Chains A and B, each alone.
Chain A
């Protein structure tokens, strides 16, 4: 089953709005790093944060006590609906599902809630904070804002979870009771996450992220959200969809790898399943970690002639939001027929990386590939008509 992308919303460290963030990427802009400090020692980390100005005007009573992760998600989700010109009313709200992709969840409130317990005992635990620690809190806020009363799901996983959420949407929309599915991926930053990824040797101390480099320097964490409104194609073939429209031709169910050394084989399997001999570009998840080597090997083996782009040097690793960001990048690349430069990549990399702004005039098919940091991998194939 093919699904159309009807609208997209994007909240990133380079600002919000699909066209405006895309323009900045085309110009080779990258997010500015800010420093975040640990609570218990003098250690600090560089991160890419969403500018505060981005969320101005995004107030809603339901978000009064909500954490950043819910605000990012609401802003991106509402943008995607606006971009599609879809107003949810009593007629179509019943036929719209909501799926959230989450990785670390509301880590800021979760840590604060547990900190109170550890510091002052269970009696000081806040009943206001606890509900915000639950993985599906962001989804419940957006469902309430939109009035969605049907299917709402929160999917949890690693960086691949965004693509798995699209797969779930594809499965859900096999049910003809649904016309639309809004898929939102979201993430917020806290020093606790930085510490955790640092202990796992996946973080670099300072930018840049060097994708596909010889030395796995590591990644910079970032935050934000991406949202995609999927629509059932009318009762006609995908090929008859309107000129310039995007279809998700195939979302792969994904897979897992037991050890990092096995990631490449899992990615190859996914690429082979998705490749139909006409892949023009791949939006990869390379982020300066072990992921790069696995992706490089798989891409060289399966789609050696495709352009390969990763935005992580510019936008950072946003984990739960990353998959949705990658799909937005693929759609924008196909729509604008050009690719932004891959920043900070070595010229010796044996992949077809656009090291400067590169036209891709005849590109019609893209693969979005995601290798997560916690054993999951996924992919999908996207086309422009």
Chain B
């Protein structure tokens, strides 16, 4: 077996390196396009075209253009049948393995909320209309949440076991956090971790029905915020025991140094207004990293732009930190659900590498009830050493990770 199963194994506390990363999001395909969009604070939210939104309040989402995905499609019939989530995952995996061809993961941990949901929708609609169901076996085969992960592994020629975490909108951060703990404990040497989700009608309408999504611009932490917009994407980080990575001469892009998870049992869709759940997750991440709140230079907030979520998170941040710069990059690309934590971890990685603060766009006015130092509308150059990324989800699940720039 790949990982250690020695019952007498010593308690290890290894440092955990990020040695490669891959991303597909509305901000771009690949790290280069993504950092360019981040620097320019691009608004990548567009009108939804994939399904009808005529009866929805919200009409927009952050979408990965089809032609960008088509460019990455595998040749032949098999590629044609894959779900777009698989195509996003394949591209993210390929970017990672192009950077680090020698990276042999022992495990893949991926977050998602919806798997191949749009194929489930096709299937149901066709059944209802008693239409041609010739494609039904393909839709059914490509619906399960693990399928895009297996497709991506096959596409790059790896065969690591996969764990698919579905902790709602915290899934991506949970996946990275759990993978981090697995490497840090010494039980694994190398893990691919990340998340994916593709926009689907059912989920889009679901958030609309909750009146969580907005017909206007997504304005996290703004006094006039009116809700979220959805997004999509896939992002993968290659995590490795730092010592082993250095031994084999792998580039270390950054370190993951802490992870916190909490569950607040307040309500299935709403956070406890006190902010206790997010606060616990951030505190636990700090404790896990053995750093103080003062050492954190930037927070990539969950920041969905709903009134209640931002209020709870803002309260937790201002209660724990003192004036640290905060932004929600969901303002640029929407909320990509299970992918969000992973995509935002890559934004943090790029911020650390290029030493800038990603922007919280569409910001018009501070909320008097939130004492936050928002990185409003423009990217700012700065010196960054430690950054924190938050993700919170339905079911009261909260997750935070801490990353640190690496100097050999």
Contacts and interface: CB of A to CB of B under 8 A. Distances in A.
Contacts of B121: 114
A140 B147 contact: no
A61 interface: no
Given A156-B115, A171-B182, A253-B3, A40 B166 contact: no
A122 B154 contact: no
B150 interface: yes
Interface stretch (B156-164, B227-235, B301-309): B156-164
A255 B168 CA distance: 24
B124 A126 contact: no
A149 B284 CA distance: 12
A140 B393 CA distance: 11
Interface stretch (B4-12, B38-46, B243-251, B344-352): B4-12
A53 interface: no
B396 A140 contact: yes
A256 B145 contact: no
Contacts of B125: 118
B56 interface: yes
A180 B2 CA distance: 25
A174 interface: yes
A199 interface: yes
Contact of A153 (B113, B137, B161, B165): B165
A374 B143 CA distance: 10
B274 interface: no
Interface in A194-219: 195-196, 199-200
A139 interface: yes
A121 interface: yes
A144 B164 CA distance: 23
B159 A135 contact: no
A156 B167 contact: no
Contact of B7 (A110, A176, A237, A252): A237
A157 B136 contact: no
A157 B148 CA distance: 12
A356 to B, nearest CB: 36
A300 interface: no
A250 B182 CA distance: 16
| Best-surrounded residue of B125, B150, B163 (most CB of chain A within 10 A) | B163
A94 to B, nearest CB: 10
Contacts of A1: 5, 7, 9
B168 A134 contact: yes
A131 to B, nearest CB: 5
Contacts of B210: 127, 130-131
B174 interface: yes
Contacts, number: 198
Contacts of B162: 256, 376
B2 to A, nearest CB: 7
B99 interface: no
Contacts of A196: 123, 136, 140
Question: Taking chain B's interface residues, is the majority helix, strand, or loop, or is none over half, making it mixed?
Answer: mixed
A135 B268 contact: no
A331 B202 CA distance: 41
B187 interface: yes
A245 interface: no
Interface string A146-162: 01111111111110000
Interface string B43-65: 00000000011111000000000
A56 B239 CA distance: 47
A40 B154 contact: no
Interface string A240-267: 0000000000101111101000000000
Contact of B161 (A127, A154, A254): A254
B211 A134 contact: no
B365 interface: no
Contacts of A114: 120-121, 124, 202
Contacts of A139: 395
Given A149-B264, A273-B1, A155 B164 contact: yes
A102 interface: yes
Contact of B202 (A117, A131, A153): A117
B3 A131 contact: no
Nearest to A274: B1
A115 B121 CA distance: 10
| Best-surrounded residue of B55, B159, B268 (most CB of chain A within 10 A) | B268
Contacts of A121: 55
A158 B144 contact: yes
A143 interface: yes
Contacts of B292: none
B146 A158 contact: yes
A73 to B, nearest CB: 13
Nearest to B112: A156
Interface in A84-129: 98, 102-103, 110-111, 113-115, 117-118, 121-123, 125-127
Interface in B333-385: none
A55 interface: no
B211 A199 contact: no
Nearest to A269: B1
B161 A122 contact: no
B206 A113 contact: yes
Contacts of B145: 135, 156-157
Contacts of B3: 253
Contacts of B55: 121-123
A88 B279 CA distance: 23
A121 B268 CA distance: 25
Contacts of B395: 134, 136-137, 139-140, 143, 152
Contacts of A326: none
Contacts of B127: 40, 192, 195
29 contacts: A40-B128, A114-B120, A118-B124, A123-B55, A125-B205, A127-B210, A130-B209, A134-B113, A134-B166, A135-B166, A140-B265, A140-B268, A140-B396, A150-B263, A151-B263, A152-B395, A153-B174, A155-B165, A156-B145, A156-B166, A157-B164, A171-B178, A172-B178, A196-B123, A196-B136, A252-B1, A256-B146, A256-B162, A376-B146
Given A156-B112, A200-B137, 18 more contacts: A40-B127, A41-B130, A102-B166, A114-B124, A125-B209, A126-B209, A134-B166, A136-B393, A139-B395, A141-B268, A150-B262, A152-B263, A157-B146, A172-B181, A176-B11, A200-B141, A238-B7, A250-B1
Interface of A: 1-2, 40-41, 98, 102-103, 110-111, 113-115, 117-118, 121-123, 125-127, 130-137, 139-141, 143-144, 147-158, 164, 167-168, 171-172, 174-176, 192, 195-196, 199-200, 237-238, 250, 252-256, 258, 273, 374-376, 378
